[in-house]
Structures are given as structure tokens and as C-alpha cells.
Amino acid sequence: MIEIEHLNKTFTARSGVHHALSDINLRIEDGDVFGIIGQSGAGKSTLVRCINMLEQPTSGTVRIDGADITGYRGRQLLGLRSRIGMIFQNFSLFQQRTVLNNVTFPLELSREGRGGKNATREGREARAKELLELVGLADHADRYPSELSGGQQQRVAIARALANEPSIMLCDEATSALDTRTTVSILNLLRDINKNLGVTMVLITHSLAVARMVCNRIAVIDEGRIVEEGSTEQVFSNPQSAVTRELLHFDSLTQVQADEERAGN
Amino acid sequence: MEVLADFFAQYGDLLLQEAWNTILMTVISTFFAYVIGLPLGVALVVTSPKGLRPHRVVNAILGWIVNIGRSFPFIILLVVIIPFTRLLVGTSLGVAGAIVPLTVSAAPFVGRMVEQSLSEVDAGLIEAAQSFGASTWQIVWKVYLREGVSSLIRGVSIAYITIFGYAAMAGAVGAGGLGDLAIRYGYQRYIGSVMVAAVVICIIWVQLFQSIGDYAARKIDKRR
Ligand SMILES: Nc1ncnc2c1ncn2[C@@H]1O[C@H](COP(=O)(O)OP(=O)(O)OP(=O)(O)O)[C@@H](O)[C@H]1O
Ligand SMILES: [Mg+2]
């Protein structure tokens, strides 16, 4: 469970103080697929980066399974991060490593696991192969990321994020760089991982369609504030904030456009 | 043909000997310049304001050292450093005597080149590594140096060729090598053919080194 209370984040630049997050309160239950939606610059990435402390909150608390992580430093912080998987909009795969060795990367880091099965190269590669199997890329193990399509690259990134058996996975616009069909297949994969492995997903998107497909709960964020939160059905059937309605409207527009395109063909 | 045979019979051994001296002093100097410059470049990147361990003071001091080192004219450094060179290798002459000033003058340059190469590494990869709980050292070894390898290799050719140019200058103060040979025979004794031969060997060697460097950098790079 992730509990965020009175979270604030300000950035101090030459131009002045910028409130990226203002008094955020959220509760993400185990097994949730939690969508965080908002316009560009709303603070989505900043919020999610506070969950694995890539961003140090200015004030407030973030608790994971009851433990306040905002004070974590050094080894404790690295340990926390190793238990939270993350995937990114542009995949962020290591270009000079094979697909297999991208997946072994998190396993090479582990400090406590020295004596375990991840201590040897064979052990790590065996585990990586299992994961590639899971994402359907077992036969691409020896390729390099530059030889793969965007969708395949994101699958590799998902396998890599799962390497340390995380209980939480953070997805920052994981499908924004992909076409519709690939987006659907990646979302299906994430949903399967959530169902079968019980991984809690925190999913950033600016597309309500994406959120609708996989999320059971949604929070809408605007200018650093949560303007709406609830179950997916609730938010879609009875949107409370103007921002949500705007997003919904835009979404229906693109839906109409997509329908028209399909009809035209 | 006969002229050429005569020439090589007379000067061949000398040219070969001095070519070997040049290669020896430049390769060893490049190696030591990286022994100093690589950690320096890494430290510059890591302590930079957006680095893994930002540290204004350390970064500023390192930056200063590098800038002073780079703006110091080599020919003056060569002389100023003589006592230090004697202390370190016992002589200021020959290959051993040249290695010290070459290394000292190239290390700051190498530091900047390494810094440049590493700062080209996609910030998203650094962030990804951090998100998996990689420590600063792990990110340096496994991400910066590994992902920047192609650019680092290109840097090695540039650094080596720069050092090669300096080595010819060092020849003027008794370092030996092809530069020294070219000056002694061409400029002081007016035996132009030896000078031309020395210069041709330099050109071929530099070309060869650059081509090998380019090839290696391309071969090792897995991006498309
Ligand atoms: N390191 C930083 N320094 C200064 N300002 C920052 C920094 N990171 C983010 N911001 C600012 O904080 C605000 C929120 O940024 P954030 O990246 O969280 O937005 P986002 O909702 O993820 O947007 P997008 O959809 O474009 O990714 C933006 O106005 C941004 O300019
Ligand atoms: Mg973002």
C-alpha cells in the first residue's frame, strides 16, 4: 500500500519558486492499477518520482507498506528502489547491452542477493530468460535494443522492471510513444502482470482511453493538485472537475475521429 | 629505385629507431594521460550541478585545474616541468623524459574529452539505472562508461593524435623521436630527404591510428 499525505514539492529556479505539487493526498491499495491523469506539466511525473524518491519531496510523507520512505538515504534508499520497478515513455534501454543483459541489469546491482541465485551470471541470465518468456521476447534475447520495434522495446523494459520481483511498478507514459495497436498489447501485458503477479501499478497517462482500459482507480491532477479521485466508473460516468470533463471531451473527439477514419477506410 | 634503396640503407635503421621512440612515448603518455584524465572526467560529470553527486566546490576546483592545465603553452610546460620530470624518471631527456610533460599536458585535455563523452549519455538511462537502485559507482561503471564507450574511443584517437603533435615539439628539447629527427636533419643539416621520410611516417601512422580508432568506435557501437 502506498499512502501519500500532504505531499508538497517545490522547485526553486532563478525565475522563482514553482509549486509542482501542492498538498497531495492519495492512497493506493495493493493490487490496484492506479491511473494518474493530467495535462502536460500538471506534475504527474514529479508525483510518481516521489514514490521511489527519484524526487525528494519538499514536505509531507510517502509511506509504503506503512514505512515512511521520505527519510531514506544511502543503502536503505537503493534497497527501496530495487523493490519498485519503473518503465518510461522512451523505454530507456541500455543501447550497448543485449536485450538479455538489459534484463539482468537490475539483478547485477543487488547487494543482499550476493549469495543467492543472482550471484552468478548463469543465475541472472536464467532469470532474465524467464522474464523475456513472460513478455513474449524469448527469441530476441541476443539482439540489441536498436534492432527492436518500440513495442518490443517497451516489453524488454517491462521485463527489466520485473527482474527484482517488485511489488510496485511505476509507469510514466509507458504507451505514449506507441501506436494504438501496440498500446493495447502493452496495456494487456501490464494488466496480466497485475493480475497474475499481483504487482501494484501506478500508471501515468494523459489519455483517458488508456486509463479506462486498465485502471480500477483514477486520480486527475492539475497544476500540482488532485482535482478528482475515484473508481474508474465513477470518474467516467460522473466527472466532478472541469479538467476531467475537458479531458473526457477531448477523448471523445479523438474517438470520433478514429471512428471516422475507420469508416473512411 | 636504387636511390630509394640507398636512402634506406643509410637512414632506414635510424628512421625505424626514432619511429619506435615516437610510438613508445606517445602511446605510454596517452595511457598515463587516461590514468589521470579518465577519473578526472568522471569526477567532473559526477560533481556537476546536474550530476549524481553535485558538489559546487569540488567541481569548480577540478574545472579550474583542467582549464589552467589546458591553457598552459606546451613548450613552456616542457621547460618548467624539467625538475619534476628529473625527480620522477631521473632524466629530462629521451623517451622517459618526454612522457612526463606529455602526460601532464594531455591529462586535463583528456579530462574534458571524457567529460564531454559521458555527458552525451542519455539522461534517461541514468534515471532508469537510479530507479533500479544502482549506486553512484554502479552508474559510473555500468552506464556512463559502458554507454559512452563509442564516444570515449573516438576521444582516444583525438587525444592520441594531439599527444603525437606535442611529441614532435618535445623532440626539440631532446626527447628524440621522429620530430627530433626531422628537425635535426631537415632544419639543421639540410638533409631534406630524411625530414620528408620522417614526416611521411608520421602522416601514415596518424592516419592508421585514426582509421583504427574510427573502426573500433563504429564496431563497438550497437546503436543504429
Ligand atoms: N527538475 C525540475 N526543476 C524545475 N522545475 C521542474 C523540474 N521538474 C519538473 N519541473 C516542473 O514541474 C512541473 C511538473 O512537471 P512534471 O514533469 O511532473 O509534469 P508532467 O505532468 O509529468 O508533464 P508531462 O505530461 O509533460 O510529462 C512542470 O511545470 C515542470 O516544469
Ligand atoms: Mg511527465
List the one residue out of B195, B216, B209, B204 whose CA is nearest residue B160.
Answer: B209
Cβ A11 under 6 angstroms from ligand 1 = yes
**How much is the pLDDT for A262?**
62
**How much is the pLDDT for B168?**
84
CB-nearest to A92 from B128, B133, B222 is B128
**How much is the pLDDT for A117?**
72
Cβ A46 under 6 angstroms from ligand 1 = yes
A165 touches chain B (CB under 8 A): no
pLDDT one digit per residue (tens) for chain A, 265 residues: 999 999 999 999 888 899 999 999 999 999 999 999 998 999 999 999 999 999 999 999 999 999 999 999 999 999 999 999 999 999 999 999 999 999 999 999 986 555 567 788 999 999 999 999 999 999 999 999 999 999 999 999 999 999 999 999 999 999 999 999 999 999 999 999 999 999 999 999 988 889 999 999 999 999 999 999 999 999 988 888 888 888 887 777 666 666 666 665 5
Q: Where are the CATH 3.40.50.300 domain residues in chain A?
A: 2-83+168-264
Helices (H), chain A: 44-49, 74-82, 99-109, 121-134, 150-162, 180-197, 208-214, 232-237, 242-264
- The domains located in chain B, with CATH, are 2-220 (1.10.3720.10)
**How much is the pLDDT for B94?**
85
ipTM value of the model? 0.90
Residue A13 and residue A74 in contact, taking contact as beta carbons nearer than 8 Å: no
**How much is the pLDDT for A258?**
63
Cβ A40 under 6 angstroms from ligand 1 = yes
**How much is the pLDDT for B78?**
87
* Minimal-distance CA residue of chain A relative to B150: A96
CA distance A262 to chain B (A): 34
Calculate helix-pair angle for B56-71, B94-119, nearest 10 degrees. 130
**How much is the pLDDT for A53?**
95
Cβ A194 under 6 angstroms from ligand 1 = no
Q: A105 and B138: CB-CB below 8 Å?
A: no
Tell me the CATH architecture of domain A2-83+168-264.
3-Layer(aba) Sandwich (3.40)
B50 touches chain A (CB under 8 A): no
Calculate helix-pair angle for B2-47, B94-119, nearest 10 degrees. 50
B134 touches chain A (CB under 8 A): yes
**How much is the pLDDT for B191?**
79
Lookup result for grid cell 501485458: A189
Radius of gyration, alpha carbons of chain A: 19
Mutate to test the pocket of ligand 1, among A17, A36, A46 (most ligand atoms within 8 A of CB): A46
Tell me the longest C-alpha to C-alpha distance in chain B: 70
Give the length of chain A: 265
Atom of ligand 1 nearest to the CA of A42: 21
Q: Residue ranges of chain B with pLDDT lower than 50?
A: none
